[in-house]
Amino acid sequence: MSITSRHGISPIHAATILDGIADGVFTVDDAMHITYFNRAAERITGVRREDAVGQYCFEVLRANICEKTCALKCTFNTGKEIINKPVNILRADGKQIPVSISTAVLRDPNGKIVGGVESFRDLSPLEELRKEITRKYTSEDIVSKNHRVLALFDILPHLAESESSVLIQGPSGSGKELFARAIHNLSKRKTGPFVAVNCGALPDTLLESELFGYVQGAFTDARKDKPGRFELARGGTVFLDEVDSLSPATQVKLLRVLQEREFQPLGATVPVKSDVRIIAATKEDLSARVQLHTFRDDLFFRLNVVRLELPPLAERRDDLPLLVNHFIEKFNSLMARDITSVADEVMEVLMEYSFPGNIRELENIIEHAFVMCRDPVIQLSHLPIDLQHSAHPRSLPPAPTLLGDLERQAIVEALLRNGGNKLETAKSLNLHRTSLWRKMKRYGLS
């Protein structure tokens, strides 16, 4: 390591100090080769120190400014430090994260520039907290690479442009409210309220007044007017979850809102104009309910202008690694933890599990693991007991792991498609060429 100090701190002591700070720090020589890489840099980038040292810095950080406006090169050329410049870097696992970087030059005793130093701070915890506080969900926050979900992503902007009612069908925990929020946040109503109502959580006697409000004197305890959810959502969106649980009487009133764009608070004599968009959701097959005469056919047709069918997590297992990483990052920021990943055997168990509770259950599993885990990597012993019991050796795929098999197969197929050209193969897999080289070496693909 080529870090010196005019105060007599040795390089070994300097390395110890730098390994104890939370920010990533690395140094480069005048040819932009990494000469030092501290522990925080390993944690933030997911690249081990021994793999980083000797590489070009742009091969390790893969920042969005590396090609045209490299901060270190700018500092070399001008001699001026850069402080807290926001950029995005690409971690070893392919996750793009926001960081702020600062740069300075390194000089020898004669004042000649012999290299540079860059520090970078991970801003993703702040970004996650900001999103959690402001509750601004967009389609980008619906983590998926599954083809069925990506097809839904494609139509979300078109749905957002219209005022048509949307019916979202999917099992419990599959993300119905997240999709509803995405439609709202992409629409012209995004500055208005998003009001969610769980129709199955309220008794019929309260649901009508909750939805449409009441006026003073409507019943004994009605001492003043109370606006309902439709009034509170004026200019925005009402999300009706478990809409299948509405009573026949409430179904009639909701139909009037959809047909006439007006509703009547309990005890009122004059209807109120409605200015909301309605998005409904159900885990049931509403068309089957119509056939059984437990749900009005005219209301079904009004709600079912556009229908989104969300697949259960068991049918989108290719999303599991992405979702696991997403929840690890979420709970790292919420709990101020520093967990990096799950062990291979944990991922194997998750890939074999049926997930009756879908994405919500996966989130609960990762949260449980965060409570139990005190190491950087979540192990099998940190999972809920019932999942640990499901990890019988006969139920697990043979070595190499299932994920390793899939990754190796994907690389082989991409190499064949590109005639063995590694650069084109890396581009098609959205990998850097050095990452592809390391994976090919791991899987014995010479």
pLDDT number for residue 141: 66
CA separation for the pair 207, 115 (Å, rounded)? 68
Superfamily of domain 11-122: PAS domain (3.30.450.20)
- The CATH number of the structural domain formed by 131-311 is 3.40.50.300
Q: Provide, rounded to the nearest whole percent, the portion of the chain with pLDDT above 90.
A: 35
Please list the pLDDT of the chain residue by residue as tens digits (446 residues): 444 444 444 556 667 778 778 889 999 998 889 999 999 999 999 999 899 999 888 888 887 677 677 888 888 888 888 888 878 888 888 888 888 889 999 888 888 888 899 999 888 876 665 555 334 333 546 888 788 988 898 899 899 999 999 999 999 999 999 999 999 999 999 999 999 999 988 887 788 888 988 877 655 566 677 888 999 999 999 999 999 999 998 899 999 999 999 988 887 778 889 899 999 999 999 999 999 999 999 999 999 999 999 999 999 998 898 889 889 988 988 888 878 889 988 998 999 899 999 999 999 999 999 999 988 889 999 999 888 877 654 444 444 444 556 667 778 877 877 778 888 887 777 677 777 777 787 777 76
Q: CATH: 3.40.140.10, 1.10.10.10, 3.40.50.2300, 1.10.8.60. Which one for 314-395?
A: 1.10.8.60
pLDDT number for residue 209: 84
Question: pTM to 2 decimals?
Answer: 0.58
pLDDT number for residue 150: 84
Domain boundary assignment for the chain? 11-122, 131-311, 314-395, 402-442
Q: CATH: 1.10.10.60, 3.30.70.1520, 3.90.1150.10, 3.40.228.10. Which one for 402-442?
A: 1.10.10.60
CA separation for the pair 162, 59 (Å, rounded)? 44
Beta bridge partners of 282: 169
Q: What is the pairing mode between strands 24-29 and 262-263?
A: unpaired
Tell me which DSSP letter residue 446 carries: -
Cα 104 to the chain's mean position, in Å? Answer: 34
pLDDT number for residue 356: 93
Beta bridge partners of 102: 119
- Give long-range contacts, CB 8 A cutoff, 24+ apart: 285-292: 285/169, 286/167, 286/169, 286/243, 286/244, 289/244
- 291: its two tokens: 């056939």
Give the list of residues 6+ apart from residue 99 with CB closer than 8 angstroms, or none: 24, 44, 63, 86, 87, 88, 89, 120, 121, 122, 123
- What are the pLDDT digits (tens) for 328-338? 988 988 888 87
pLDDT number for residue 219: 59
CB 62 within 8 A of CB 97: no
b/e map of 102-115 (b: 16 or more CB within 10 Å)?
bbbbbeeeeeeebb
pLDDT number for residue 14: 67
